[in-house]
Amino acid sequence: MLSFIMRRFLTAIPTLLVIVTISFFLIRLAPGGPFDLERPLEAKVMENLNRIYQLDKPLIQQYWLYLSAVMHGDFGPSFILRDFSVGELFARGLPISMTLGALAITLAILVGGTLGTIAALRQNSLADYIVTGLGAMGLTIPNFVVAPVLQIVLGLALAWLPVAGWADGSPRNLVMPVIVLALPQIAVVARMTRAAMIENLRSNHIRTLRSLGLPWHVIVTHALRGASLPVISYLGPAAAALLTGSVVVETIFGLPGIGRYFVEGALNRDYTLVMGTVVVVAVFVLIFNLVVDILYAVVDPRIRFD
Amino acid sequence: MADPVLTVRNLNVRFRTGDGILHAVKGIDLDVNAGETVAIVGESGSGKSQTMMSVMGLLASNGWAEGSVKYRGDELVGLSPDKLNRYRGSKLTMIFQEPMTSLDPLYRIGEQLALPLTTHGGLSKAEARRRAIELLELVRIPDPQRRIDSYPHEMSGGQRQRVMIAMALANNPDVLIADEPTTALDVTVQARILELLADLQKRLGMSIVFITHDLGIVRRFADRTYVMKRGEVVESGATSDIFAAPKHPYTQMLIDAEPRGTKEPAPAGSPLVLDARDVKVSFVLKSNLFGQPTHVLNAVDGVSLSVRAGETVGVVGESGSGKSTLGRAVLRLQSASGMVRFEDRNLMPLDRAGMRPLRRHLQLVFQDPFGSLSPRMTAGEIVTEGLLVHEPRISRRDRDRRAAQAFEEVRLEPGWRNRFPHEFSGGQRQRIAIARAMILHPKLVVLDEPTSALDRSVQKEIVELLRDLQKAHGLAYVFISHDLAVVRALSDEIMVMKNGKVVERGSAEEIFERPREDYTRDLIAAAFLKERGVAAPTPATLAS
């Protein structure tokens, strides 16, 4: 197991390298640069800026410079938010996005898993139809619709919760963004759990448990363990996406997470910010894929790492 | 005798299906007395399994039972699962046909064995573990102290079925229902499991209900027998009476369906069709960092085989013995070393393109008539698909005419050629598969367990069909099977394979009358002991 994890870390290095390389050159293909404004800057100023940020050097040299800096953990200065380095921006924003994402994914597992299980146990009953219907709604109604509706109802009409803002992570400020982030995930987890539970409950080994006259909770426990496998493999990439922030949710609720940096960075040609976001997202995806593989092996003894 | 443990009266089982209501069990009566063995026989679809599933409350969610099932006077039909759990797993238990999937793959054997013990017996975890080890010993799992911590995938099919039996016997039940408990297992393993059940019954005194299609098991083990057909009991009584004088025509047909007779020898001087020498197939199981193999499985290890026109060579052996791989290797569907000659041509140097013109002479029929026909093509298209490759010039109308002829040849209604595979029964599908091979007028056909997935009476028809086709066209057959009764009925020569090697070969008569190897004797004993009433397998086979 340990050697497996070590091997995975080693293979992650070339993967990251490929991702960094491709995105470095891709963003440079986009027309324009970080200092192109609507009213063009003076040629002299532009030249100075380019020299300071080393954008006047040949592209391949810039690539090497960036790569060696990243190796030392330096993501460079942001081109647009000029008082901050990319590292500082992430140090501030990442904990916020991760808090929201972690809460959302937990909520999705608890609520989605429970709803899916209930639906599977009462297949083709009213409860099942309600869960399936709500699941379809959770998936299809976009978060930029759900978020303002919640803001109007809970924030303005009922005035139970603050409409927006971070407020140092006060729980009251977290409720709405977490719900909006979690809703589509709840829907997916519920659907997947339902399908996997139905399949498991029909399996031969569950029939064996029933033939042995074992109580309901034993049967459900066994079926849940088997049904968790497909859900786990879905949750890995989903968790990586949630923990690295959501543009829409962070913008609507005015939260200083990192979700908006990717879009802002790309639109403003803030090369270092975009690259930093790419690296962070890639690292999260790689870590969570590894977590999925380890969890899989813990749940399913047939998986072996050799 | 009059000590009924289980009394079934006017039991009806129905299923709600897409095509309306299916009446699977039609008002049957059945009794099981203390300590006796009762067999329920019938072919697939006769309702024999559903009868016992409804006793255990295990019907699928679209099915329901009506009538009366009494366990020592207590009514079971209509009980809630909770109330039924007072009987299931303690008084009434069941083992199933699918030992590979009946245990939870995610839990250790010990954890699963402990469940019925802690639930019904009120044992503590430690006590349950001790008792579980005893139970594993009882069902003769070697080294139970260690095996109790195994996972199901670390055990063979036979061992898993033993664990199932141990779970079923955990609380000393009064009735053990065994639903085709050995059908999915190798013949020699079958014999050992049946021996074990008979022995356990003697020691523990429970009643056993055998659900089976195998009359050999019935004859050997059952005190009384119920014969079921289409949801009804058509005949019942003492097993010896039923076999001595079957009253119902269906019972007579079932008994008559046991494959009998031997093949007429091929005409003298028939030309050699296939000549394979020293065929070897090996699979790399594991290789090191540099791609060099470290573990190699020699699936076929230096086997020679020759077949003349009109002749059948039977290849028998247990699963994993390499018999199917050999069949593929001689058809060059599996890369192999050695020499394979078809008529006067050496096949080994040929590549795929070189083999293509010869393919029509070399055909293969598979075991699984459900998986080997494309569900999206009509039976006629399936049968004539080979013509598109080998006779691309013939017109659509000619192809259709050939399809009709091929259907007639395998005794299927030619008008059915526009139907899809799911509209045919298992036996009919196997006929389609045979027609697909025959339409190309092959010279050599490798038959890989072509009858194993079929009911006995259907098996008999397929065996007769294959015999007739061989006679009419002078076909050479390589007949691969683990079923010695069928092999004897079809083969001139028999090769017995074990671990990739031929351990014995000879004419059908020699092999069956004077087997030299213990392994061959085991296979024969396992397949025929029931029929001949021969004693149990030797202690040597039980110990292994």
B chain contacts of residue A123, beta-carbon cutoff 8 Å:
61
Measured CA distances, B497 to B261, B449, B450, B484, B523 (Å): 23, 15, 18, 13, 11
**Residue A79 domain flag:** no
- Which residue of chain A comes nearest to B286, CA vs CA? A306
| Topology annotation, domain B4-256 | Rossmann fold (3.40.50)
Which residues on A lie below 8 Å from B167 (Cβ)? Answer: 208, 212
What is the model's pLDDT at position B539? 37
Percentage of chain A lying above the pLDDT 90 cut: 44
Tens digits of residue pLDDT in A166-180: 888 788 999 999 999
pLDDT at B289 (0 to 100):
66
| Superfamily the domain B273-543 falls into | P-loop containing nucleotide triphosphate hydrolases (3.40.50.300)
Domains B4-256 and B273-543 share a fold: yes
Cβ-defined contact of A208 to B96 (cutoff 8 Å) = yes
User: What's the pLDDT score for residue B540?
Assistant: 39
Please give the mean pLDDT across all residues of chain A: 89
Q: Do A222 and B107 touch (CB under 8 A)?
A: yes
| Chain A interface mutation, best of B102, B113, B285, B295, highest count of A Cβ atoms under 10 Å | B102
Put simply, the answer to whether B115 touches A300 (Cβ < 8 Å) is no
The verdict on a CB contact (< 8 Å) between B85 and A213 is yes
Q: In angstroms, what separates the C-alpha of B366 from chain A's closest C-alpha?
A: 26
Amino acid at position A224, single letter = L
Instruction: Give the gyration radius of chain A's Cα atoms.
Output: 24
Q: Where are the domains of chain B?
A: 4-256, 273-543
DSSP of B367-381, one letter per residue? Answer: S-TTTSS-TTS-HHH
Q: How far is CA A219 from the centre of its chain?
A: 33
A248 in a domain, yes or no?
A: yes
Dist. CA B137–CA B114, nearest whole Å: 15
Does residue A176 lie in a domain region?
A: yes
CA-to-CA distance for B326 and B348, rounded, in angstroms? 14
Residues 214-233 of A with CB under 8 A from B: 214-216, 218, 222, 225-226
List A residues 118-177 in contact with B (Cβ-Cβ < 8 A). 123
Mean pLDDT for the stretch of residues A283-303? 89
Question: Is the distance from CB of B181 to CB of B158 less than 8 angstroms?
Answer: no
- pLDDT tens, position by position, A58-91: 889 989 989 998 888 888 888 877 788 889 999 9
Query: Cβ(B101)–Cβ(B184) under 8 Å?
Result: no
| Any domain includes A36 | no
Q: What angle do CA B78, A123, A239 make, to 5 degrees?
A: 145
What is the distance in angstroms between the Cα of B227 and the nearest Cα belonging to chain A? 24
Q: A192 to chain B, minimum CA–CA distance in Å?
A: 19
C-alpha angle B271-B276-B282 in degrees, rounded to nearest 5: 160
Rounded to the nearest angstrom, the minimum Cα separation between A296 and chain B is 11
Nearest to B386 by CA among B367, B397, B402, B370: B402
A-chain residues near B172 (CB < 8 A): none
Contact B57 A210 (CB under 8 A): yes
The answer as to whether A50 is a domain residue is no
Percentage of chain A lying above the pLDDT 70 cut:
99
Tally of structural domains, chain A: 1
Residue indicated by tokens 């410079």: A65
* Contact with chain B for residue A302, Cβ under 8 A: yes
Which whole number is the average pLDDT over A16-42? 85
* Cα–Cα distance measured from residue A214 to residue B81, given in angstroms and rounded to the nearest whole number: 10
Residue A19 domain-assigned (yes or no): no
Answer whether A295 touches B (CB < 8 Å). Answer: no
Selecting from B58, B105, B164 the residue whose C-beta is nearest the C-beta of A210 gives: B58
Choose between B273 and A305: higher pLDDT.
B273
Find, among B226, B243, B219, B336, the residue nearest to B282 by Cα. Answer: B336
Residue of B nearest to A212 (CA): B89
Below-70 pLDDT ranges, chain B: 1-2, 259-261, 289, 528-544
The residue segments making up the domain with residue A212 are: 92-299
CATH of the domain at A258: 1.10.3720.10
Contact B101 A204 (CB under 8 A): yes
Mean pLDDT of A108-133: 93
Chain A contact set for B103 (CB, 8 A) = 205, 208
Burial class (CB in 10 A: 0-12, 13-18, 19+), B381: middle
Task: List the structure tokens of B510.
Answer: 């020699």
Which of B56, B98, B153 lies closest to A211 in CB terms? B56
Q: How far apart are the two ends of chain B, measured CA to CA in Å?
A: 37
